[in-house]
Structure 1
């Protein structure tokens, strides 16, 4: 039985095109935007361009804020399907970054009072943005292959620490101020020409593993890092996230295609729900690979080795 609903909150950064392609139901979060107040999150650039949004965010970051779907919104989204007997897998943005999972958990408990036979599984992605989105896409691909509700849930729980991030963020001030980065004081702010290279950690956040000098050196380090950590690249769909770094993302995409020959590489925007907390300057690839070590010691050693080789 693979007739179940896949849901995710807006932290997955899946565009409207990907939502339709993979049949994923998105539960909107909330944005506080200058002059507009509280508005639903969006994953298409209709009323504002990507460039204008990030330019305004950089000028006045304190005027922007986000909030996850609340309990009532989760209840409404769940009820639309459980009333018809549809099982639901709902994947949320990392619980280290948001209360989304807590609201979904309360909503599930409330739903079970009215619908005691409802089948709802909640999965903490321990990821955010396109890394989270890639996990959702994998769940959808498994469903299309005929995997059962339980098999998909088990895969997500057992493999979430295999979803890697390999990229840089030019300005760490946004993620540090918003509490999305471990050890922020060591890497706070912007250093001209320095590319801080980060990876997902076991706590569901990002840790900077090292700093490369210049884009050319950073690309070389990242390709070596992917090569050392990826598994079966020829079978993979790889996402590249960018927040106003599209030219760099295009260069990275071609490098990955030429070196690893994956099934597909897609460049994904970081939309406002995540973008407000990430800020401009993210350029990173997301893929499935070897399990990430609990303390990131393995990954840190690799990055340090590759940076040293480039000097």
Structure 2
């Protein structure tokens, strides 16, 4: 049986240490801020996560760019030359063209390496939702499953990876075209905090509203209560836009309500954080449906 590599991209927002332990190959998306381009490495080597959010708070703006076809070919070719196969688990096609770039690269490389298996899976996920998806697939690989079995598992669970999140400042979502200017203005005036999720097509959808920050954080855990599959015994991921105390508050609430022990917290990386802003808080778990 040929060995295979699980490849993903930096929008998975995992810690660099976790990605290394799971033996993942992670490609970075990029961020253009001022005159400088930074690659979104998981270890923050080109732009630190706290530094990024401080700059956004100070009024800096940035644009983000997907991974190119050429970047994928460059990363995939050496693995294929070693005689290993590739399973790429992509950032949501509903939020980026990165997945399409991977598909084009894979199609070209199959002609060059006709004996290789190069699979691309659209996670329809983002941030640590994508991270949780990749983590669960990596556990299957560790358990000795074949590339085909892990690919099938990925397709089977991807629409059960639940993403519930809230943001502190609606203007970042307004700039990204996620909500209207009127909604942003109205919500900011009334300290209304939106509760959003990522739907079955990988898009950000506003679902409900909460009055005030604490209520919005508790609303995320309420959502988990409704759909989570065996919450006590599953792995839960929480990502935050430079608001670790709020992440700890949500983690404590999840532990209190469900007895969940395996909870991982990390930053929302700069590429996604550029659209969601400081103060974003997201909860990810497996549920009966998104």
- TM-score, normalization by structure 1: 0.86
Task: Tell me the CA shift for residue 65 of structure 1.
Answer: 1.5
Which residue in 2 is equivalent to 1:43? 42
- Report if aligned partners of 1:166, 1:284 keep a CA contact under 8 Å in 2: yes
Q: CA separation in 2, counterparts of 1:67 and 1:220?
A: 33
- Report if aligned partners of 1:170, 1:194 keep a CA contact under 8 Å in 2: no
Task: Tell me the CA shift for residue 184 of structure 1.
Answer: 4.1
Task: Tell me the CA shift for residue 48 of structure 1.
Answer: 5.0
Offset from partner CA, 1:224-246 (integer Å, 9 cap, x none) = 22111100112211111100211
Which residue in 1 is equivalent to 2:7? 7
Which residue in 1 is equivalent to 2:281? 283
Task: Tell me the CA shift for residue 71 of structure 1.
Answer: 0.9
Q: CA separation in 2, counterparts of 1:127 and 1:80?
A: 27
Distance 1:117 1:185, change over 3 A: farther
Q: Secondary structure at the residue paired with 1:222?
A: helix
Offset from partner CA, 1:27-50 (integer Å, 9 cap, x none) = 122221234x22322222456553
Q: CA separation in 2, counterparts of 1:234 and 1:164?
A: 16
Which residue in 2 is equivalent to 1:29? 29
Equivalent of 1:76 in 61, 65, 74: 74
- Report if aligned partners of 2:218, 2:250 keep a CA contact under 8 Å in 1: no
Distance 1:184 1:4, change over 3 A: farther
Which residue in 2 is equivalent to 1:309? none
Q: CA separation in 1, counterparts of 2:108 and 2:240?
A: 38
Which residue in 2 is equivalent to 1:152? 150
Structure 1 unaligned segments of length 5 or more: list them. 293-311
Judge which range, 270-279 or 247-256, deviates more: 270-279
Q: Secondary structure at the residue paired with 2:42?
A: coil
Q: CA separation in 2, counterparts of 1:245 and 1:232?
A: 28
Structure 2 unaligned segments of length 5 or more: list them. none
Distance 1:114 1:3, change over 3 A: closer
Equivalent of 2:184 in 188, 202, 205: 188
Task: Tell me the CA shift for residue 61 of structure 1.
Answer: 4.5
- Report if aligned partners of 1:95, 1:204 keep a CA contact under 8 Å in 2: yes
Distance 1:187 1:202, change over 3 A: farther
Task: Tell me the CA shift for residue 223 of structure 1.
Answer: 2.4
Q: CA separation in 1, counterparts of 2:25 and 2:145?
A: 19
Which residue in 2 is equivalent to 1:172? 170
Task: Tell me the CA shift for residue 253 of structure 1.
Answer: 0.7
Task: Tell me the CA shift for residue 274 of structure 1.
Answer: 1.7
Equivalent of 2:266 in 265, 268, 273: 268
Q: CA RMSD in A?
A: 2.0
Task: Tell me the CA shift for residue 200 of structure 1.
Answer: 1.3
Offset from partner CA, 1:259-285 (integer Å, 9 cap, x none) = 212241111101112212221121111
- TM-score, normalization by structure 2: 0.92
Distance 1:219 1:39, change over 3 A: closer
Which residue in 2 is equivalent to 1:220? 218
